[in-house]
Amino acid sequence: MRFQTLAVHAGHKPDPAYGAVMTPIYQTSTFAFRGVNQPGPFDYSRSGNPTRKALEDCLAALEGGTHGFAFATGMAAEATVLAMLNSGDHVLVHDDLYGGTYRLLTKVVANHGVSADFVNMRDLDALRRSIRPNTRLLWTETPTNPLMNLLDLSAIAQVAKDAGVLTLCDNTFLSPYFQRPLDLGIDIVVHSTTKYINGHSDVVGGAVVVKNSKLAELVGFHQNAMGTCAGPQDCFLVLRGIKTLAVRMDAHHRNALGLAQWLQQHPQISAVLHPGLESHPQYALARKQMSGCGGTFSFRVRGGREQAFRLLGAVKLFTLAESLGGVESLIEHPATMTHISMPAEVRQAIGITDDLIRISVGIEHLDDLIADLQQALA
């Protein structure tokens, strides 16, 4: 079945108890045994819950995987995967990625004997040279936040296969509707379902999807052992959000590309970083590995920090806030908001300068979004 159909149907049928069309919220900690030594399909909600199972099976279907896992947050999903490594193991991480992942690796996981090196994975030779005998995992994220750089996932998967190393992709920015890393040879997909997958800015959640039963067993074991799973109420909300993922992503893509094209010709904008524009240095790779660009991108305002702050203060429809992927449009200043924990020299070196603005374009009418930026830039 096609993506749109799977988004509505995968993982759930009308409920066997009363025929409820939407999977009920099984708000229970435990499940009655059918008899002595006869558990039902579920015994305790940390180990498994029917609402969570419906979401997990739907996530697996959408990513083209065999097993999905739902977590309390995106960070809980990431922490659980990293807990599968042992002391002495090494991880190679793309050097331009979500700040929370950087913090988890350098401030938490590093204290448990798992080391990480950050390399620019757009340079495949540098990547090959950085692999050590104890390297277990290559960690990627594409497009990157907020600079919208892309990584060639199939090329990286091939480098990893040659070296006998696992690969992971944080697919939060595009969702499986626009990019399917497992199809490109990646072993593990992680998501912050807080963003596009849920899409309504009313829940935090995370996911892991794999397509190999050995890996699935490991993830499932750690999810249960660590207790990082999502609760049934949150799973219900994410499952409801997923049903409209395809139509929302199409709307996000159209609006964001329309705004990017409009900004590109505005005299006060010096650069637009959007992989759907031919001016993007990796436009060809975007066409090859993504079927759309989602709703988040960045641009640079002439006049530096002063003009950037003026714009942020003058918007009326865009909300000044962190996060992304919801139906409403958000605007933010990476240098002083989402990326403030990054050392100033590092920010400067990679291009997160004071003139940079990131927007998460919602599904409002494009003309209203353009009008808001137009009045704010005037």
Ligand X SMILES: *Cc1c(COP(=O)(O)O)cnc(C)c1O
Contacts to ligand X by CB under 6 A: 73-75, 98, 100-101, 141, 145, 170, 172-173, 192, 194-195, 204, 206
* Nearer Cβ to ligand X (72/269): 72
**Polymer length of the chain:** 378
* Nearer Cβ to ligand X (73/201): 73
First to last CA, the chain: 48
DSSP letters for 217-252: HHHHHHHHHHT-BPPHHHHHHHHHHHTTHHHHHHHH
- Show which residues are catalytic: 46, 98, 170, 195
Minimum CB–partner distance for residue 169 and ligand X (Å): 10
* Nearer Cβ to ligand X (141/354): 141
Contact 277, 260 (CB under 8 A): yes
Query: Please, which residues have CB within 8 angstroms of residue 140's CB and are 6 or more apart in sequence?
Result: 94, 121, 151, 153, 156, 167, 168, 169, 170, 186
* Nearer Cβ to ligand X (89/141): 141
* Nearer Cβ to ligand X (190/285): 190
Q: Distance (Å, rounded) from C-alpha 311 to C-alpha 31? A: 54
Q: Distance (Å, rounded) from C-alpha 168 to C-alpha 31? A: 34
Q: Which of 275, 324, 333, 329 is nearest to 301 (CA)?
A: 333
Query: Is residue 155 within a helix (H) or strand (E), and if so which, with residue range?
Result: helix 153-163
Minimum CB–partner distance for residue 275 and ligand X (Å): 15
Minimum CB–partner distance for residue 151 and ligand X (Å): 13
Contact 107, 62 (CB under 8 A): no
Minimum CB–partner distance for residue 97 and ligand X (Å): 7
Dump strand ranges (E) for the chain: 67-71, 90-94, 115-119, 135-141, 166-170, 188-192, 206-210, 269-273, 296-301, 319-320, 330-332, 356-360
Q: Distance (Å, rounded) from C-alpha 91 to C-alpha 131? A: 9
* Nearer Cβ to ligand X (75/335): 75
